[in-house]
């Protein structure tokens, strides 16, 4: 068994050394041509039976590892089918990105708000879930003219070359989207990694001038220093308490388990020769997210976590997402630029968020234009989750700010509350 394990380790080492060249076949051939030759050479003084046993070990390892080199999904991108309740538009932005766009006009008979609302989804580089589409339709029923687009490389949007996936590209794409919309100003709701894109846009005076009001919901780290900060999450989430996600997992297959695992640990390039970006996006399933979905809900909701998406609509470009996250980690502090922000903003924080609290409080401390914070109880990171009245609660908070009315919740935490908020592990 030690010889068998050694062959596997050698194969993985050569995958890394060759960056997965030719679907991993280069590493596979090098491993088994070399080990076969070595086995025959070293076994020349042993009995034929011993030689045969050693060659069988090599053959067994070869049979197992060849599965790493064989695609089980199409290698050309297969996009999700269009949704039955909304038209999928495709806009070519000035940056070169071709993105899938969804428009939910205000409901008939409802007072229409003059400024369009743009939604930036989380991920990054994934599709907009059915749960989010439900919430966007609710906002439209409140009279908002809602636009949402899937970031380049995610959902039904076209792929980019891997090197073009950066946090700065996502930010400039937002500006290009607003330009394409043709409105002088828009309101923007950014959620999770979409909130990061919004924060970085607010730090750019040219882009910030196009945003009338900004809603920063459950942000991730806004820059490299924030990404490296030690901190704690909110109240306990359902991670570890909820049943495991159902459905097939690509990561249970040797090819995709090896590829995604090595990329995750930085041992394989994001633009590698083992699996293409398109194949990786085709292969990744909702079940591959593991406990990430449960972490977006409160512990007391562990027994009733809703189905966020369908297999037909789900899309996640894992390699591109990791690439964007790496460019964020490598980015310098944003605080000096954000201190000059003048765009009225609101911060939304969930009680059971699995996000590091310091990610949100760093934004609150740095951006002087944040006028209010709304701390939503009894919800996790995915605040509009379809449970109880959570969608309506979130919509009321958003509407109050966009319409410049008093918030339905206390303004908490304020900047002065940050030390106590963190100390109390809220």
User: What CATH number does the domain containing 391 carry?
Assistant: 3.40.50.1820
State the pLDDT at residue 370: 98
**pLDDT for res 45:** 66
What residue has token string 């900060």? 229
* β pairing state of 98-104 and 89-92: antiparallel
pLDDT mean over 329-355: 97
Nearest C-alpha neighbor of 398 from the set 138, 130, 147, 181: 138
Mean pLDDT of 185-205: 98
Flag whether pLDDT at 77 surpasses 60: yes
Residues 333-361: what's their mean pLDDT?
A: 97
pLDDT given for residue 424 in this prediction? 87
Do 329 and 286 contact (CB within 8 A), yes or no?
Answer: no
107 and 49 fall within a common domain:
no
Give the pLDDT band (50/70/90) at residue 144.
very high
pTM of the full predicted structure?
Answer: 0.94
Q: Is the pLDDT of residue 54 over 70?
A: yes
Confidence class of residue 58 from pLDDT cuts 50, 70 and 90? confident
Segment 186-212 mean pLDDT? 98
Same domain? 316 vs 350: yes
pLDDT attached to residue 53: 75
pLDDT in the model for residue 46: 65
* CA nearest neighbour of 160 among 170, 151, 152, 168: 152
Mean pLDDT value across the chain: 94
Question: Is the domain of 109 the same as that of 200?
Answer: yes
| pLDDT confidence of residue 119 | 98
| Runs of H (alpha helix) within 307-424 | 318-329, 335-338, 357-366, 390-402, 418-423
Select from 69, 98, 118 the last residue of a domain: 69
In a domain, 277, yes or no: no
> Does residue 256 fall inside a structural domain?
no
266: left (phi over 0), alpha (psi -120 to 50) or beta: left
Question: What is the reported pLDDT for 402?
Answer: 98
Tell whether the model's pLDDT for residue 357 goes beyond 90.
Answer: yes
Pairing, β 186-191 against β 146-149: unpaired
* pLDDT confidence band for 426 (50 / 70 / 90): confident
In a domain? residue 172: yes
β partners of residue 187? 117
Return the pLDDT at 48: 67
Residues 99 and 191 in one domain: yes
How many angstroms separate the CA atoms of 148 and 104, rounded?
9
Average pLDDT over residues 397-406: 97
Provide the pLDDT for residue 30. 93
Longest dimension (CA), the chain: 91
Lowest mean pLDDT among 1-10, 338-347, 383-392: 1-10
- Cα 304 → chain centroid: 23
pLDDT at 42 over 90: no
User: What pLDDT is recorded for position 43?
Assistant: 61
Nearest Cα to 412, choosing from 367, 364, 378, 352? 364
Q: What is the mean pLDDT of residues 284-311?
A: 93
Provide long-range contacts, Cβ within 8 A and 24+ apart, for 60-65: 60/4, 61/4, 61/7, 61/8, 61/11, 61/32, 61/35, 62/28, 62/31, 62/32, 64/8, 64/254, 65/7, 65/8, 65/11, 65/28, 65/31, 65/254
pLDDT in tens, 246-296: 889 999 999 999 999 999 999 999 999 999 999 999 999 999 998 889 999
Residue 411: band (very low, low, confident or very high) from pLDDT cuts 50, 70, 90: very high
Structural domain that includes position 18: 2-69
Tokens 């590493």 locate to: 27
**Whether residues 20 and 153 fall in one domain:** no
Please tell me whether residues 234 and 334 are part of one structural domain.
yes
Residues 6+ apart with CB under 8 A from 45: none
Same domain, 44 and 121: no
Report the DSSP pairing between strands 117-120 and 89-92: unpaired
198 and 97 together in one domain: yes
Q: Rounded CA gap, 397 and 377, in Å?
A: 12
Residues 201 and 53 in one domain: no
- In the predicted structure, residue 7 carries a pLDDT above the cut 90: no
Residue 1 has pLDDT above 60, yes or no: no
The answer to whether 171 touches 145, Cβ cutoff 8 Å, is no
* pLDDT at res. 268: 96
Q: Is residue 4 very low, low, confident or very high in pLDDT (cuts 50, 70, 90)?
A: confident
Same domain, 9 and 154: no
Is pLDDT above 90 for 41? no
Residue 19 lies in a domain: yes
Query: How does 238-263 read in b/e, with b if 16+ C-beta sit within 10 Å?
Result: bbebbeebeeebbbebbbbebbbebb
Query: Residue 372: what pLDDT?
Result: 98
pLDDT digits (tens, 9 = 90+) for 107-137: 998 989 999 999 999 999 999 999 999 999 9
Confidence of residue 18 (pLDDT cuts 50, 70, 90): very high
Say yes or no to pLDDT of 410 above 60: yes
275 falls within a domain: no
Give the model's pLDDT for residue 39: 66
Decide if 284 contacts 320 (C-beta within 8 A): no
Q: For the residues 363-379, what does the mean pLDDT come to?
A: 98
Q: Are 46 and 132 part of one and the same domain?
A: no
Domain count, the chain: 2
């Amino acid at each position: 068994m030690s010889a068998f394990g050694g062959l596997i380790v050698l194969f993985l080492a050569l995958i890394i050394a060759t960056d997965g060249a030719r679907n991993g076949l280069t590493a596979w051939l090098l491993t088994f041509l070399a080990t076969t030759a070595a086995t025959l050479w070293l076994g020349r003084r042993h009995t034929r039976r011993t030689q045969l046993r050693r060659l069988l070990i090599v053959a067994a390892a070869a049979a197992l590892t060849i599965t790493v080199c064989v695609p089980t999904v199409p290698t050309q991108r297969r996009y999700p089918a269009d949704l039955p309740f909304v038209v999928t538009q495709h806009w070519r932005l000035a940056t070169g990105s071709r993105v899938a766009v969804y428009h939910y006009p205000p409901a008939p008979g409802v007072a229409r708000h003059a400024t369009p609302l743009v939604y930036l989804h989380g991920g990054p580089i994934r599709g907009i879930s059915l749960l989010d589409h439900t919430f966007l339709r609710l906002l439209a029923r409140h009279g908002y003219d809602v636009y949402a687009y899937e970031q380049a490389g995610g959902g039904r949007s076209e792929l980019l070359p891997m090197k073009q996936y950066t946090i700065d590209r996502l930010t400039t794409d937002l500006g290009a989207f607003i330009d394409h919309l043709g409105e002088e100003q828009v309101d923007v709701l950014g959620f999770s990694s979409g909130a990061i894109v919004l924060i970085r846009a607010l730090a750019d005076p040219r882009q910030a001038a196009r945003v009338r009001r900004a809603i920063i919901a459950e942000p991730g780290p806004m820059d490299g220093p924030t990404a490296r900060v030690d901190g704690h999450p909110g109240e306990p989430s359902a991670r570890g308490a909820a049943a495991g996600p159902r459905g097939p997992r690509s990561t249970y297959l040797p090819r995709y388990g090896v590829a995604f695992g090595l990329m995750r640990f930085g041992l394989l390039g994001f633009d590698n020769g083992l699996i293409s970006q398109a194949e990786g996006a085709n292969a990744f399933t909702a079940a591959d997210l593991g406990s990430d979905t449960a972490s977006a809900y409160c512990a007391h909701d562990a027994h009733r976590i809703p189905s966020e998406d369908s297999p037909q609509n789900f899309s996640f470009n894992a390699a591109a997402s990791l690439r964007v996250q790496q460019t964020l980690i490598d980015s310098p502090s944003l605080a000096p630029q954000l201190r000059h922000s003048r765009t009225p903003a609101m911060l939304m924080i969930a009680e059971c968020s699995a996000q590091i609290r310091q990610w949100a409080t760093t934004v609150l401390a740095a951006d002087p234009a944040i006028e209010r914070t709304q701390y939503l109880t009894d919800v996790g990171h995915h605040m509009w989750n379809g449970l109880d009245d959570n969608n309506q609660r979130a919509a009321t908070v958003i509407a109050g700010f966009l319409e410049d009315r008093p918030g339905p919740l206390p303004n908490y935490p304020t900047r002065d509350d940050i030390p106590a908020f963190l100390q109390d592990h809220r």
